[in-house]
């Protein structure tokens, strides 16, 4: 027979009181990257029809706030009840062509974190070139040395190309910056992929960024070159932050107040970087750790999650 406590627990879950309680004092910062008509499994993409469902659901059920406002509410102890903020990392063109029209139509604010070297040059970030190389190589397998061990990576099916690229991405994220760049070059050589022109035109242009900034979209820094910040020195980290902020500020004529850690898991940054961000004038920074934010959250380590991931909405 079920205990009284068990019965109460069952009732709370069934009546969604848990869900409401969960949302009352916390907010969710949603992490998007790319939006696509037909998502490529090698890229962090969400299908546009699914994104549309998300934003309609958010507009109908939540207070969608600019990220800066969420940070203010956390700082000032104001209500976070059913608050969410929408964010996109990296600065891909499809944020403008596919996501922005929906956001504009629904009057929803969002923040896009820009990798400024990529915006300035029009070149995609290194991890996109890396995925592209694994997706398009004509090789059927490669042999690589990781941590002193020789690995044979099969490349005969889409599934094992993905799996092989995931294994190598894990390895790349743990390497020091120069070693990571060297490994990347040697992978392109092994995969025999050196033409990335198919990736031209993937990134936002400043004109589009300026247009969006006039209509509810704000822009945050995401470093200049998207390094793993726990694998570079603190002066290098400060340089990455400053360059990224200055480039955005020079194009938009506005101060940059928000920052997203590249890759964003706890092992991809370190606590000293928060002090650098603060010194540079950043008022809040987001990670990709799956967590809702509340009044106890650090403004320099705000997790990101979808509300329906954490509490079944
Ligand atoms: Zn990123």
* Segment 74-108, tens digit of pLDDT: 999 999 999 999 999 999 999 999 999 999 999 99
Ligand 1 centroid, distance to 16 Cα (angstroms): 34
Q: What is the mean pLDDT of residues 256-276?
A: 95
The residue among 126, 18, 53 whose CA lies nearest residue 134 is 126
Go through 249-265 and write b for each residue having 16 or more CB atoms within 10 A of its CB, e for each that does not.
eebbeeebbbbbbbbbe
CA of 90 to the centre of ligand 1 (A): 5
d(C-alpha 86, C-alpha 79), whole Å:
18
Residue 25, pLDDT score: 85
Could you tell me the pTM of the whole model? Answer: 0.90
Buried b (16+ CB within 10 A) or exposed e, 121-131: eebbbbbbbbb
Distance 57 CA to ligand 1 centre (A): 25
Q: Where are the domains of the chain?
A: 30-73+86-122+205-311, 126-198
Q: Report the separation in Å between the CA atom of 226 and the middle of ligand 1, taken as the mean of its atom positions.
A: 6
Q: Assign domain 30-73+86-122+205-311 to a CATH class.
A: alpha beta
Q: Is the pLDDT of residue 23 over 70?
A: no
Answer yes or no: is pLDDT of 14 > 50: no
pLDDT tens for 226-242 read 999 999 999 999 999 99
């Amino acid at each position: 027979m079920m205990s009284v406590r068990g019965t109460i627990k069952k009732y709370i879950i069934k009546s969604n009181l848990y869900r409401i309680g969960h949302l009352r004092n916390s907010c969710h910062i949603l992490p998007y990257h790319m939006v696509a008509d037909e998502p490529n499994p090698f890229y962090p993409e969400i299908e546009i029809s699914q994104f549309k469902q998300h934003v309609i659901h958010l507009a109908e059920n939540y207070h969608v706030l600019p990220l800066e406002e969420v940070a203010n509410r956390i700082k000032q102890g104001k209500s976070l009840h059913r608050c969410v903020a929408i964010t996109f990392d990296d600065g891909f063109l499809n944020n403008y062509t596919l996501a922005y029209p929906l956001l504009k139509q629904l009057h929803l604010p969002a923040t896009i974190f820009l990798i400024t070297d990529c915006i300035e040059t029009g070149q995609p970030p290194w991890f996109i070139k890396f995925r592209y190389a694994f997706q398009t190589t004509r090789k059927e397998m490669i042999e690589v040395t990781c941590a002193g061990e020789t690995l044979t990576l099969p490349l005969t099916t889409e599934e094992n190309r993905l799996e092989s690229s995931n294994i190598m991405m894990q390895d790349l994220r743990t390497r020091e910056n120069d070693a990571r760049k060297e490994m990347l070059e040697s992978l392109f050589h092994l995969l025999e992929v050196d033409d990335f022109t198919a990736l031209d035109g993937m990134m936002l242009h400043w004109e589009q960024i300026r247009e969006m900034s006039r209509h509810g979209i704000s822009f945050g820094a995401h470093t200049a070159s998207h390094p793993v910040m726990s694998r570079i020195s603190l002066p290098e980290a400060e340089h990455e932050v400053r360059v990224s902020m200055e480039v955005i500020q020079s194009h938009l004529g506005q101060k940059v107040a928000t920052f997203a850690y590249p890759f964003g898991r706890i092992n991809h940054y370190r606590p000293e970087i928060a002090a650098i961000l603060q010194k540079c004038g950043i008022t809040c920074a987001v990670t990709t750790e799956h967590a809702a934010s509340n009044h106890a959250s650090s403004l320099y380590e705000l997790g990101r999650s979808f509300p329906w991931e954490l509490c079944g909405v």
